[in-house]
């Protein structure tokens, strides 16, 4: 089957996402003409996914972030209808896991019914999060939804468009074999689409599921590969077009930047353009702030506020969860450790000064004392307090006792409230290092 037209400008420089975006005409006559049509490729909806972060800081903003995934899907459906897309493909992980109740399934069915009323078919397969053995509840989906089976690859055709879609769902969460190797030959006279939930040859930090190579995909002779599993947008290949659309909504600080799906246009049996459809409702961002230029707290707040402005602008009015990292040699080093709670509030203050919808997700401190900071002066000049504190921090018995005390505190908290590996937002090494620095600051103040 033919692949991508080499001269198509939509695929020049595919390594940069912005360069593969082709702003195509929304002329409905093109959509209805068999020689030219468009379809939506989405993946990794993760409906029912729990929110990570923000919940303890502000319940209202946590609620808004928690609803963002559903809102993003509703927006995607609306945009699909407006684009008069011929059909939609969802390449795995519609759900984040087993449902607590039927509300998740009812919501998805309601949105698919909107597409049915618009005459738009939907083809979905199960990924590792919603594998057949994982999600056992069911809500009857509208007639426009076709699901790929789990036993072997299946082919579904849209004869009026001369389109054939090939795919296989995950029967279980762990799929280690190369599913693509057994996908069927292309249907002659049709535009063939491979739908696959895969890590390809590996996309850390994503788990290695249904591994395969680009050569495996190209060997099938399809006109387009609609992939899922990787949550970042990526045009992996131009010929044949192999695309990860990314997920439709970032769910934690690990998923930053804009999120959405892809509108694919096919002309005369070949992909002629890609357009990202950004539908996310809320954003996450990391911000690095070199604090060595701030002499006091007011200066640090002003510096943070200015560093946040580009991220606020990029969010375009969406709620924005920010992880700030303060680094560098700073005269505020000791004060910051001794007044961490106040500093967190001031950084939230800086976020709100930048924009009312900017929220602090977490503050990371990587500060160091200035080179000319005063040394620790003990009452007994024969003692090297800095060395003593260093030895205590690295003493295995001390660390074991510290870990035990942290464990006791964690056991007193409600189940699921904190991450046992980092119950106070930091690992043991960080907590010990900060305790050492804080004690040193208090000793210095006392001396």
Q: What is the count of structural domains for the chain?
A: 3
Residue 1 lies in a domain: no
Q: Which domain holds residue 332?
A: 282-373
| Helix, strand, coil distribution of the chain in percent, nearest 5 | 35, 20, 45
* Shared-domain flag, residues 237 and 257: yes
* Shared-domain flag, residues 72 and 204: yes
* Shared-domain flag, residues 224 and 78: yes
What tokens does 218 get?
A: 């190209």
Residue predicted with more confidence, 377 or 246 = 246
Which pLDDT belongs to residue 2?
A: 39
Which of 278, 295, 319 corresponds to the end of one domain? Answer: 278
Could you tell me the CATH number of the domain that includes residue 226? 3.60.21.10
* Shared-domain flag, residues 55 and 116: yes
Residue 40 lies in a domain: yes
* Shared-domain flag, residues 172 and 76: yes
Q: Is the pLDDT score of 18 beyond 60?
A: no
Which of 249, 278, 307 corresponds to the end of one domain? Answer: 278
0.85 cut: is pTM over it? no
Longest CA pairwise span in the chain (Å): 90
* Shared-domain flag, residues 61 and 77: yes
Residue predicted with more confidence, 253 or 3 = 253
Mean pLDDT for all residues in the chain:
82
Q: For the chain, how many helices (H) and strands (E)? A: 10, 15
The set of residues, in sequence order, having a beta carbon less than 8 Å from that of 280 and lying 6+ positions away, is 68, 72, 248, 249, 250, 258, 259, 260, 318
Run of H or E including 212? none
* Shared-domain flag, residues 268 and 316: no
- 311-329 pLDDT per residue, tens: 999 999 999 999 999 999 9
Which of 352, 373, 394 corresponds to the end of one domain? Answer: 373
Q: Is 343 left (phi over 0), alpha (psi -120 to 50) or beta?
A: alpha
């Amino acid at each position: 089957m033919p692949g991508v037209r080499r001269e198509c400008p939509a695929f020049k420089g595919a390594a940069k996402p912005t360069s593969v975006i082709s702003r195509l005409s929304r002329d409905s006559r093109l959509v209805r003409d068999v020689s030219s049509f468009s379809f939506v490729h989405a993946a990794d909806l993760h409906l029912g996914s729990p929110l990570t972060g923000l919940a303890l800081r502000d319940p209202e903003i946590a609620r808004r972030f928690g609803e963002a995934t559903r809102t993003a899907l509703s927006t995607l459906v609306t945009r699909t209808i407006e684009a008069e897309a011929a059909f939609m493909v969802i390449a795995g992980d519609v759900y984040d896991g087993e449902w607590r109740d039927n509300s998740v399934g009812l919501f998805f069915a309601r949105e698919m019914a909107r597409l049915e009323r618009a005459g738009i078919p939907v083809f979905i397969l199960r990924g590792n999060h919603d594998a057949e053995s994982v999600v056992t509840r069911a809500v009857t989906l509208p007639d426009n939804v076709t699901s790929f089976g789990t036993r072997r690859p299946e082919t579904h055709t849209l004869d009026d468009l001369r389109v054939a879609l090939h795919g296989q769902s995950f029967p279980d969460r762990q799929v280690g074999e190369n599913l693509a190797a057994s996908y069927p030959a292309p249907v002659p006279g049709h535009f063939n689409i491979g739908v696959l939930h895969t890590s390809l040859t590996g996309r850390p930090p994503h788990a290695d599921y249904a591994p395969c190579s680009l050569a495996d995909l190209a060997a099938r002779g399809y006109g387009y590969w609609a992939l899922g599993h990787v949550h970042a947008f990526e045009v992996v290949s131009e010929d044949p077009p192999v695309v990860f659309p990314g997920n439709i909504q970032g769910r934690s600080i690990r998923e930053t930047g804009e999120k959405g799906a892809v509108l694919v246009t096919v002309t005369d049996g070949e992909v002629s353009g890609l357009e990202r459809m950004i539908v996310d409702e809320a954003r996450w961002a990391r911000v690095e702030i070199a604090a060595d230029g701030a002499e006091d707290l007011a200066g640090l707040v002003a510096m943070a506020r200015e560093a946040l402005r580009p991220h606020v602008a990029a969010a375009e009015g969406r709620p924005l969860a920010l992880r700030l990292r303060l680094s560098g040699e700073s005269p505020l080093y000791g004060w910051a450790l001794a007044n961490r709670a106040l500093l967190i509030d001031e950084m939230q203050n800086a976020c709100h000064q930048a924009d009312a919808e900017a929220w602090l997700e977490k503050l990371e401190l990587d500060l160091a004392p200035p080179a000319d900071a005063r040394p620790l002066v003990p009452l007994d000049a024969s003692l090297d307090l800095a060395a003593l504190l260093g030895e205590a921090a690295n003493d295995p018995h001390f660390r074991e006792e510290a870990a035990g005390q942290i464990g006791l505190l964690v056991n007193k908290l409600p189940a699921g409230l904190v991450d046992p590996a980092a119950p106070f937002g930091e690992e043991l090494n960080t907590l010990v290092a900060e305790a050492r620095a804080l004690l040193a600051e208090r000793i210095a103040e006392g001396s």
